[in-house]
Structure 1
Amino acid sequence: MGDTQTVPDFAEEFGRGAASFAELDEPLWNPISTAAVARSRPQFDEHVLDACCGDGASALPTAELVGVGGLVDAVDLAEPLIAIARERADDRMPQLHLHVADVTTWEPAGYDLVQCVLGILFLPDVAAGTRHLIERARPGGRVAVTVWARGALEPLPDLLVRALPDGAASDLDLEDLTKPTVESAETPGTLALWLTERGLVDVRAEQVQRRLEPTPELAWRLVRGTGLQAIVSGLDDGELERVRERFLATLAEDGVTSVDVSTLIAVGRRPEVE
């Protein structure tokens, strides 16, 4: 069921953290995906492309909604995450097709719905990759994109950078690594405009506000299971443990009681005639 292609280094690294990623399903990925699917509104018998599907948090409920007469192509570069999704789906969803593949070169098109939940930021060229996803929808088909809102994951990025070994931060592009949002698309209005410029029409976007209480265990899971992992990816086990200790100590010292995990969800249509 599905294809396997060569996985770039960044996807291999993200895949190695599949267990940490999956540990965030209940507190983070499932609520975000539920909100996204509620707005993309998959229908019975529809054909759907779920791009950058991760471990299936949005693909599995979408497959349930389209039913056995529909089809969901769920695509991700990280084979370990696809393996988790495949295990969860088991044999009860023949309409769900899981693929280890690069969505930026995905050729099938004509989908009733194309959705991408927190995935476009990982595309090598975000604008071009998003345009490619839009072109996978049929004329008149829906495209739904979920991204982090402005301020998402704060204040964790700053705390994590402060916990790095002396000199480690100088080797990182911290502006990119500590900013999980899509540049120039950080509010509902700017995201809608950005997607309109990529080729969608009738785009509606909204912010879904949510916060988490960062217990020490959850705070470190957020580091290891989100894009924040890139900040500590070059550390050995001993350095990583020391960073964890300093990070959690700073979290307590600063009295951090909540982490912003708000998202922006936009839904538009591919024009009938371009």
Structure 2
Amino acid sequence: MGDTTTVPDSAGEFAGTADSVAGLDEVLWNTISTAVLLRSHPRFDERVLDAYARDGASALPTAELVGIGGLVDAVEPSESLVSLARERAGERMPQLQLHVADPAGWEPTGYDLVQCVLGVAAFDDVEAGTRHLVERARPGGRVVIAAWARDALDPLPGLLAAAVRDRDDDAEASPAALTVDVADSAGNLAHWLTELGLLGVRAEEVQRHVDLTPELAWQLVEGTRLRSALAGLDDERIAAVRERYLASVAGDDVVVVDLSTLIAVGRRPEA
């Protein structure tokens, strides 16, 4: 379905981890994507850019909403995740075009809606990448950005980093940051997007806390940016990190995890 601009699978932050990402659909991606779509309001016949589309959690329902007269360009660097999204979509939504590509280099413009769900932190240059997304929207078009709230997933990143540092070789590796300083609160996110040229920006925090089981604690490592802390480790070392990490989660009596997000909606100025 759709055309695919091939890039090395390693270019994707979640390359090769499609199953781990998909394992979080119910508890994470689907819930967050639903909250975003309630605010982005995809409409019949609209053209939409879904940046960092992952396994299609937001792109597929968006395609349903725009109908066959619309278009959704779902752009994701990981070939394995795009393949999963394509498998899920089948042939029932010709309006969904899936692309293995870097959102920072996506050139088409004129979209009625540009949305990015928990993706801006993946840009090498966060400000330049987000500005590039803003510029993909047509004059008067909507831009919707969802980001992790400050302290989301805490204390899991710190516990994971400590478990990695405790490896026998004493090498250090910290997980990639989940949040962006300029977008770690509703106020900061709204101010930042306004500075990037959007008008009438409204941002809010969508609070959500879920019970944390050992299974979910490890799923959140494997299926989110936390996985970057495991880069370069073989299976034996990953197993050792997992054991230490889960022991710390239990030892610190972490039984609830904060999955709160920030969602901002704004418009590009009319020409």
TM-score of the two chains, using structure 1 as the length reference:
0.94
Structure 2 residue aligned with 1:3:
4
Superposition deviation, residue 124 in structure 1 = 1.3
Question: Residues 169 and 20 of structure 1: is their aligned pair in 2 closer, same or farther, counting only changes over 3 Å?
Answer: farther
Q: Which consecutive unaligned segments of at least 5 residues does structure 1 have?
A: none
CA contact (8 A) 1:158 1:178 kept: no
Q: Which residue of 1 aligns with 2:244?
A: 246
Aligned pair partner of 1:207 in 198, 205, 208 = 205
Q: Give the 3-state SS of the residue equivalent to 1:199 in structure 2.
A: coil
Structure 2 runs not aligned, ≥5 long: none
Aligned pair count reads 269
Partners of 1:161 and 1:169 within 8 A in 2 = no
| Cα separation, 2, equivalents of 1:169 and 1:206 | 41
Q: CA deviation at 1:9?
A: 3.6
Partner of 2:92: 92
Q: Is the 8 A contact 1:25 1:57 kept in 2?
A: yes
CA distance in 1, matches of 2:198, 2:145: 11
SS of equivalent to 2:74? strand
Output the CA distance in 2 between the equivalents of 1:100 and 1:10: 10
Identity of aligned residues (%): 59
Task: For residues 119-166 of structure 1, give each alpha carbon's deviation from its aligned partner in whole angstroms, at most 9, with x where no partner exists.
Answer: 111111110111111111000000000000001111111111221234
Q: CA deviation at 1:233?
A: 1.6
| Match in the other structure for 1:35 | 35
Quote the offset at 1:167 in angstroms.
7.1
Residues 223-258 of structure 1: CA distance to partner in whole angstroms, max 9, x if unpaired?
010000011122111111011111111111111111
**Structure 2 partner of 1:56:** 56
Q: Which amino acid aligns with 2:234?
A: D
Q: Aligned AA for 2:142?
A: R
For 1:203 and 1:167, locate their aligned partners in 2 and report how far apart those are by CA, in whole Å: 49
* 2:151 pairs with 1:151: yes
Q: How many angstroms apart in 2 are the aligned matches of 1:233 and 1:200?
A: 37
SS class of match (2:14):
helix
Aligned-residue Cα RMSD (Å) equals: 1.5
With over 3 angstroms needed to count, the CA separation of the structure-2 counterparts of 1:201 and 1:167, relative to structure 1, is farther
Using a 3 Å threshold, how does the CA distance of structure 1 residues 48 and 168 change in structure 2: closer, same or farther?
Answer: farther
How far is 1:179 from its partner? 3.4
Amino acid of the structure 2 residue aligned with 1:188: A
Equivalents in 2 of 1:122, 1:10: separation in Å? 11
Q: What residue is the counterpart of 1:132 in the other structure?
A: 132
